[in-house]
Amino acid sequence: MNSDFDRQHSESIEPAASTSAAIESNSRVQDRRKFLFRLSIAINAAIGLLVATPVVRFLLGPLRPKGSYDHWIPLGKIADYQPGTTILATYRNPITNPWDGETGNVACYVRRQTDGNFTVFAVNCAHLGCPVRWFPQSQLFLCPCHGGAYYADGSRAAGPPERGLFTYASRIDGEMLMIQAGQLPTLANQARLRTPGDCPGRSSASKSDFHLVKEIAPCVKAPNGGTNEPTIG
Amino acid sequence: MRQSSKRWYERTYDWIESRVQLADFVRDSAAHPVPAKTASWWYVFGSASFVLLILQIITGVLLATIYVPSAGQAWDSLQVLNHQLPLGWFLRAMHGWGSNFMVAVVLVHMAQVFLFGAYKFPRELTWLLGVGLLLMTLGMAFSGQILRFDQDAYWGLGIGASITSRVPFVGGEMVHLMLGGPIIAGATLSRFFALHVFVLPATMLAFAGLHVWLVLKLGINEWPTPGRLVRRETYIKEYHELTHRNGVPFVPQAVWKDAMFAAAIIFAVAFCAAVFGPFGPTGTPDPTITQTVPRPDYFFLWIYSALAFLPPSVETPLIFIAPVIGIGALIALPFISGVGEKSWYRRPVGVLTLIVIAVGLATLTHLGTYAPWSPHMNAWTMDEIPARYIRNGTPLERQGALIFKVKQCHNCHALGGLGGQRGPALDSVATRLTEDQIIRQVIQGGGNMPAYGAALSPPEVTALVAFLDTLHPPNQRPATDASRSIAETDKPAPNEPVESTRP
């Protein structure tokens, strides 16, 4: 048993400590051992810190400077999108691993107004990220999770969302529709300061819109609460 | 030699025992006296939780021999388990039902410990380890649901990321850390796999080991007697007397009930697995499929429900403050009420709290099973309008019924018990709203209904309102605007001069 072992160990030391000189040398030995014990702990702490640093850096790997995940992605030819329609478009995320499979694909809603302007909405509900579904008949985006509803221009219609649908920055490059995307749209990267009245159906091409801020500015409701441009009836 | 008289297995046992020297410990632990009244069926849930943990580990290891933690192939490997490998489906079902049972039994165990005052002195640390085990059990349930990597798992991660993104200042960074990259993809699955298979089970085993060790060292909680108060100065002595004067050895007097219940639980898991089969996977985790209705697993439905009811203005603070308060209360409990009365007869506040929490969780979970706040996305094409609502209708009213379907009104409003429950059922809407009010409601929306003014042409509104105005019980007249009828009856005849212009 361990206690036997300890007893044998201590018994073997005690007889040696009979003379005062031996006691003194023994206490010196013990002091030295205490010091070495503390030193071993300190060395291990230092080595541990040294080894932990790259581990922490590795674990923080997904962190990148703001916006560096975003890229301009072609979303097909402009001619593919009929004016006055909203359709589901898909693209491959610019940053993927070979084993991502279908999860590397991303869907978005492209709305082309009759005046030719494009708005590209994320499918992720602004409430908790569930995929909203577009109903062209009633001109609504409906969320299946908690019942968020959005008008055709992406503004909030009903339900728990605090704001309208997330949008991607878009521009037209020759014949191609380009959007700036690359990360899951959430309140953290999509909440941005907006000037009142600039909310529904605003053009997303202007650069000044893309100062990312940590604050949700509620969108002032347009005088007409519904879609400003019906595409049916 | 004397040893040669022993059989080979006895010699092997002696050889090992002389080295590990565990026999005394095991014998003492088995024979340790427990208070006579604790040899009760109320005391079986802790051991059942541990048995289920072991069952989960065994079935989990077996599943891991096939499962591929790759975003592109996890779903396919589950299909192979379900359909191609002999009894692969049964193992998946055992693991899935095992997790359901484990969450349930852990919660019952916790409720029992709370009711019996077992968290009081000197068992505070046992309770704290239990709180950790509860949280890790829920963590295992959530990460396990993600490993199923179907549409529910994918969008469950989306909800998790959306909640995380609301953390002030560092929300965006935390989302990337949680997902392992910019989007929900392979890296996300891999890190939840590591959590589910290595980190959490190892920590849980360590916690559970220490938890059981404390039960052995401090003794099982005695049956609460009203009036017998826990005092720090005297409790240990009193408990010692209780166990050594009137106690019974744990084995076999008490343990047989644990063993019986463990067998019953394992059988129940196997029975459910065999009869109801495995959970999912639902559709492939393809985010371009928006025709999906994500739902969390059973044990998280209450959170899903709560998130539907939080007012937007306080949602973000509540999401982060409520768990801190909840977990904080669990941690603080043994320090706030560490001594005193143990019996539920003398702890009305505690009993009431437990009942309120249990009823609250059960209600939210029940609501989550049918989610009345969600539109029924397919009601407009799948659910019928009862024929009696259309029979004898004018062409205009029938056209209105068609508009009701085509414009997805049915997704939120039920008719004849079919359709969404987001908005009020419209079976008797005409008795509640006048024609003018219906028109206003349809065009302008309000009260959590979108405005349809831009999505409906004037003839469509006319037809829809004509249909809705027929929706009233046969013995009840539709609501009318009294002032309007007076105005109509008081209309001057064509030749008659208007009253105000009379001399």
Q: B182: domain CATH number? A: 1.20.810.10
**Residue A173 distance to chain B (closest CA, Å):** 24
pLDDT tens digits, one per residue of B16-36: 999 999 999 999 999 999 998
Cβ atoms < 10 Å from Cβ of A45: 10
B503 has a pLDDT exceeding 50: no
Measured distance CA(B335)–CA(B339) in Å, rounded: 9
Asked, for residue B501, whether it belongs to a domain, the answer is: no
The answer to whether B34 touches B247, Cβ cutoff 8 Å, is yes
**Residue B62 distance to chain A (closest CA, Å):** 23
Give the pLDDT band (50/70/90) at residue B142. very high
A224 has a pLDDT exceeding 80: no
Find the residue in B nearest to A108 (Cα). B288
CB pairs A-B closer than 8 Å: 233
CB contact under 8 A, B287 and A106: yes
Give the pLDDT band (50/70/90) at residue A63. very high
Mean pLDDT, residues B83-102? 97
pLDDT tens digits, one per residue of B250-289: 988 899 999 999 999 999 999 999 999 999 899 999 999 9
pLDDT tens digits, one per residue of B440-450: 999 999 888 99
Find the residue in A nearest to B21 (Cα). A1
Residue A201 has a pLDDT of 44
CB-based contacts of A146: which residues, under 8 Å, 6+ apart?
A125, A127, A128, A130, A159, A160, B307, B308, B373, B374
Residues B1 and B80 in one domain: no
Residues B37 and B7 in one domain: no
Residue B346 has a pLDDT of 94
B384 has a pLDDT exceeding 70: yes
Give the pLDDT band (50/70/90) at residue B492. low
Residues B362 and B405 in one domain: no
Where on the phi/psi map is residue B248: left (φ > 0), alpha (ψ -120 to 50), or beta? beta
Give the pLDDT band (50/70/90) at residue B233. very high
Spell out the domain ranges in chain A.
Answer: 2-59, 71-210
> The tokens of B67 are what?
């499962």
Q: Across all residues in chain A, what is the average pLDDT?
A: 80
Give the pLDDT band (50/70/90) at residue B246. confident
Domain of B316 in residue numbering reads as: 32-370
A136 has a pLDDT exceeding 90: yes
A216 touches chain B (CB under 8 A): no
CATH code of the domain in which B426 resides: 1.10.760.10
Residue B489 has a pLDDT of 72
> The tokens of B210 are what?
């220490």
Residues B311 and B290 in one domain: yes
B468 has a pLDDT exceeding 90: yes
The CA-CA-CA angle for residues B141, B145, B146, to 5°, reads 120
A104 touches chain B (CB under 8 A): yes
Residues B21 and B47 in one domain: no
> The tokens of A229 are what?
């441009």
Q: How many domains does chain B have?
A: 3
Residues B389 and B314 in one domain: no
Measured distance CA(A31)–CA(A14) in Å, rounded: 16
> The tokens of A144 are what?
């299946």
Find the residue in A nearest to B170 (Cα). A188
Measured distance CA(A143)–CA(A149) in Å, rounded: 6
Residues B358 and B392 in one domain: no
A10 has a pLDDT exceeding 90: no
Give the pLDDT band (50/70/90) at residue B174. very high
Residues B20 and B119 in one domain: no
Measured distance CA(B180)–CA(B174) in Å, rounded: 10
- pTM score, whole prediction: 0.86
B484 has a pLDDT exceeding 60: yes
A199 touches chain B (CB under 8 A): no
Q: Across all residues in chain B, what is the average pLDDT?
A: 92
Query: What kind of architecture, by CATH, is found in domain A71-210?
Result: 3-layer Sandwich (2.102)
Asked if this assembly's ipTM is beyond 0.90, the reply is no
Asked, for residue B219, whether it belongs to a domain, the answer is: yes
Give the pLDDT band (50/70/90) at residue A203. very low
Give the pLDDT band (50/70/90) at residue B131. very high
Looking at beta carbons, which residues of chain B come within 8 Å of A107? 287-288, 290
Residues B203 and B218 in one domain: yes
In this structure, which amino acid lies at residue B334? P
Residue B491 has a pLDDT of 64
Instruction: Among B324, B341, B370, identify where a domain stops.
Output: B370
Which of B62, B94, B326, B103 shows the shortest CA–CA distance to B197? B62
Cis bond before residue B281 (omega within 30° of 0): yes
The answer to whether B195 touches B143, Cβ cutoff 8 Å, is yes
Which letter, b or e, does each residue of A76-89 get, where b requires 16 or more Cβ atoms within 10 Å of its Cβ? eebeebeeeebeeb
Q: Which of A207-211, B51-55, B219-223, B431-435 has the highest mean pLDDT?
A: B51-55
Residues B244 and B228 in one domain: yes
CB contact under 8 A, A131 and B163: no
The answer to whether A153 touches A50, Cβ cutoff 8 Å, is no
Find the residue in B nearest to A102 (Cα). B286
B193 has a pLDDT exceeding 70: yes
Asked, for residue B121, whether it belongs to a domain, the answer is: yes
Where on the phi/psi map is residue A67: left (φ > 0), alpha (ψ -120 to 50), or beta? left
Asked, for residue B494, whether it belongs to a domain, the answer is: no
Residues B251 and B395 in one domain: no
pLDDT tens digits, one per residue of B396-437: 999 999 999 999 999 999 999 999 999 999 999 999 999 999
Residues B340 and B405 in one domain: no
